[in-house]
Amino acid sequence: MSERIYLDNAATTKLDPPVGCLISPYKFGNPSSLYREGREAKGLIDNARRLVAEKLFCDPHDIIFTSGGTESDNLAIRGVVFSYIKRHPDSFKPHIISSTIEHKAVLNTLKDLKELNLIDYDLVPVDEYGFVDQEAYIDAFNSRTILASIMMANNEVGTIQDIDSLSRIAHEKGVLFHTDAVQAFCKMEIDLLKLKHVDFLSISGHKINGIKGAGALYVRYYAKPSISPIITGGGQEGGLRSGTENVLAIEALGYASMIVRDKHLSKLRDMVIDDILREIPGTYLNGPKTNRLPDNINIGFSNITGEEVVMRLDAKGIAVSAGSACNSGELSGSHVLLAMGRTKQESLNCVRITIPDWTPAEDLVRLVLEIKSIVNNRDM
Ligand code: PLP
């Protein structure tokens, strides 16, 4: 049995050892330099671009490396707004559609653009399982809508949206479509040959056993005229993301996207869910039973806060989360769970468990036993 049990893969992941062996920390060249060291560094980036594109079934030219998921979301949203305003300086105020359960990288970007008086936006509600209300989504489009941004899979409850249908609807309305696939990438198939209506897609390296500091935005070739850079400078990444590239982290992102993933994760997930719900009275599952990320468990308790469970498990050597890492310390409760209809107290009484690939089943058996003992001792 491993000493410390890490079960918070949605927050971040361990560097995969083979990825760590493959990356080249001593290749120091600037990828923009013409001489050998530069060309070598550029080769490493181009190789990573090819590997990421292979995983997404897309053209490598459509992959723009960024510093991570937050920047990719910002580039997609701000980039589309800036491009629109540049091309139509005297036009109406653009409108964006998103959902109530997006990551703060999307929600706070929309809020900021609204505060700058550059856009209006509507957040479409979700049902009790976190699925976007399709009727409300369709109703949200108006003649000023330029972009819809709906996450592929939720970081707190693992709900997987029907991106094929949502992106198709956006295109039928003549609107660009972005999806935040930071949690979905490498945990489920993403085939951009099939998802023909997705124009922009965000991913992040540190969520897939790479290194922090690299992510990517997929930009479909015909959507390129509709997006402007948000970081300007030397014109790297086809002019869409200036700045000397983080070669090492980009290399790691490329190799990490090729890792063979654990196909049995969803079985372990279901085993833990069933055991907790059966063994610990008053517990319930947040999010759906199907169409859920294979590594995600989100459990609600009747009599103990998520924070207390997290701290007590930590003392026993187990790392889980009381929600999204970005929201930890958020005493108002999780915006995702509130949007799904939970009360404030219910949204504070939850833990998120996200299982790394190849976690031994006995670690998860220990997790259930420890949670049971924490909850039972609390009752006494
Ligand atoms: N989007 C989602 C759904 C996430 O879960 C996260 C990180 O938790 C991000 C965006 C931000 O990614 P990064 O940490 O790479 O900036």
| pLDDT attached to residue 341 | 97
Rounded mean pLDDT, 198-205: 98
**Percent of the chain scoring above 70 in pLDDT:** 97
Q: Are 79 and 240 in contact (CB under 8 A)?
A: yes
pLDDT at 104 over 60: yes
CA distance 334 to 346: 9
| pLDDT attached to residue 151 | 98
d(CA 239, ligand 1 centre) in Å: 24
pLDDT at 301 over 50: yes
| pLDDT attached to residue 3 | 83
pLDDT at 247 over 90: yes
pLDDT at 380 over 50: no
SS3 annotation, 294-320? CCEEEEECCCCCHHHHHHHHHHCCEEC
d(CA 210, ligand 1 centre) in Å: 14
Q: What is the mean pLDDT of the chain?
A: 96
Give the pLDDT band (50/70/90) at residue 1: very low
Give the pLDDT band (50/70/90) at residue 327: low
| pLDDT attached to residue 19 | 98
d(CA 161, ligand 1 centre) in Å: 17
pLDDT at 331 over 80: no
Q: Which residue has a Cα nearest atom 5 of ligand 1?
A: 155
| pLDDT attached to residue 90 | 87
| pLDDT attached to residue 181 | 98
Q: Kindly report, residue by residue over 268-296, the tens digit of the pLDDT.
A: 999 999 999 999 999 999 999 999 999 99
Among 342, 344, 363, residue whose Cα is nearest residue 353:
363
Q: Kindly report, residue by residue over 137-181, the tens digit of the pLDDT.
A: 999 999 999 999 999 999 999 999 999 999 999 999 999 999 999
**Percent of the chain scoring above 90 in pLDDT:** 94
Pocket test for ligand 1, best of 104, 180, 182, 208 (most atoms within 8 A of CB): 182
* Pocket residues: Cβ below 6 A from ligand 1: 68-70, 73, 103, 105, 151, 155, 180, 182-183, 204, 206, 215, 326
Q: Would you please indicate which residues are annotated as catalytic (active-site) residues?
A: 326
| pLDDT attached to residue 332 | 76
Residue 34 Cα distances to 28, 43, 239, 248, 317, angstroms: 14, 12, 18, 19, 50
Phi and psi at 30, nearest 5°, equal -85, 120
Q: What is the pTM of this model?
A: 0.97
| pLDDT attached to residue 326 | 54
d(CA 36, ligand 1 centre) in Å: 35
